[in-house]
A and B are shown apart, each in its own frame.
Chain A
Amino acid sequence: MMISSRDELIAGRSEPAVSVEHLTVVRNGRTAVQDVSVQIAPGTITGILGPSGCGKTTLIRSIVGTQVVAEGRVTVLGRPAGSAELRHRVGYVTQDATVYRDLRVVDNVRYFASLYGTGAAAADDAIAYVGLTDHRTALCDNLSGGQRTRVSLACALVAHPEVLVLDEPTVGLDPVLRVDLWDRFRQLARRGTTLLVSSHVMDEADHCGDLLLMREGRLLAHTTPDRLREDTGCQSLEEAFLSVIRHSTAPALG
């Protein structure tokens, strides 16, 4: 059974790793995130789920501290999001694999290692961790999309972050690789890393201890896979999510 951050926090056993209070973000004149409040316990895997364009990336960028925020407060590890001392402690894997394609795998990871000040040994560990040791001297341009995603992940892991934020890390990966990555995420969580993983594929939800369901910039629910099934009476999480959406929009329609 996976640890749910809700249970942890309600029990008062721990300070939240990430705390979002009444966050509102306006991007290009559109409200991308509207009045979202959520608390995430350390050492958990939280899935941010919802259709494309529902504000997942904006929420993630706010937590990492690269987003101009209109209202509200985001606190990570007790500090305001984006503050200088957090930059060692928060890892960010962007949606597209942001690696230098004209560099070799090992150079990419070493570059980030030196940015974080962790050194070449940490870079080799990170490459081994994502299973790319065989490709360490390959040019990123010659890798497949999934391999590049893993290079991107290694560039974040090299910092040994306490909070790791991943924006759709499993998009476009084959099923084997996906299972593999989720195994690694669980491993990291067991070691105490707090993971936030966004996805628009509901079957991934079962890998998460906690679920944040988002739609049109709003947080519909903060729940767990089991509780979601229980509350909606649906076996498949896909249906459960649809049922939550219908439920949340029904009053507006009526």
Chain B
Amino acid sequence: MILVVPSLIIALMYAMFVNVPHRPGTPAPFDNACLVMLGVFPLIVMFLITSITMQRERVSGTLERILTTPLRRFDLLAAYGTAFSVAAAAQATLACVISFWLLGLHTEGSPALVFLIAIVNAVLGVGLGLLCSAFARTEFQAVQFMPVVIAPQLLLCGIIVPRDALPNWLQWISNAMPASYALEALRDVGAHPDLTSTAARDIAVVVAFAVVGMGLAAATLRRRTP
């Protein structure tokens, strides 16, 4: 499911955009939308999977138990981070291969950069998911964090309304959200043949968000609880 679903949805979008007129001199509508999806999917899927798995670990008591073993908290998070990131990498690989080769996605920049950004987004999803799992009492609540944490980021990241056109205060909020940077980086890669300084900075910002998320998540892993 994790592997195939994003690719299927991208294929569905391809079919949707087949008859959409394409103004010469602008990027094809499918290219645009497909890029967005390649960035958004890893974020959403990894956020969901991580937050639910970690929440189960907390509630079932296995977390308390493994924290009585010699395991270090950082190791636990790193293990979760890598395990899920490997799954995310497989997912992103498949989605990228299908988009670029089968569906003819065209970007000015290198597909490798698109892949890199997809992975970074997945790691961001893992970081945010680990953090949010601390605040959910049930799996049901963990799922509800998705609209709370992810939806505003997607609304404000410039997919629906260009960020310049947002009211000032929303621009500020948008500036504080990692997805805005991820999407900006993807756009830049889509439009420029070389890695622009903006894209490089944006990728660094997203990585920083992911690291901070993991760090805060580590702080919520307490060996002693009330």
Q: Which residues of B contact A99 (CB under 8 A)?
A: 62
CB interface residues, B 52-75, toward A, < 8 Å: 60-62, 64-71
Bound Cα distance from A88 to B69, whole angstroms: 7
Instruction: State how many angstroms separate the Cβ of A65 from the closest Cβ of chain B.
Output: 7
On whether A64 and B68 interact (CB within 8 A), knowing A27-B226, A28-B226, A82-B223, the answer reads yes
On whether A68 and B69 interact (CB within 8 A), knowing A94-B61, A96-B61, the answer reads no
Bound Cα distance from A84 to B71, whole angstroms: 10
Bound Cα distance from A155 to B71, whole angstroms: 14
| B23 CB–A CB distance under 8 Å | no
| A182 CB–B CB distance under 8 Å | no
CB interface residues, A 56-104, toward B, < 8 Å: 64-68, 82, 84, 87-88, 90, 92, 94, 96, 98-100
Bound Cα distance from A123 to B64, whole angstroms: 21
| A233 CB–B CB distance under 8 Å | no
**Chain B: interface residue total (CB-CB under 8 A):** 15
| A112 CB–B CB distance under 8 Å | yes
What number of residue pairs across chains A and B have CB atoms under 8 A from each other?
51
**Chain A: interface residue total (CB-CB under 8 A):** 24
B residues with a Cβ closer than 8 A to A are 60-62, 64-71, 223-226
A residues with a Cβ closer than 8 A to B are 27-28, 64-68, 82, 84, 87-88, 90, 92, 94, 96, 98-100, 112, 115-117, 155, 159
A-B contact list, 6 entries, CB within 8 Å: A66-B223, A67-B225, A68-B224, A92-B68, A94-B61, A115-B71
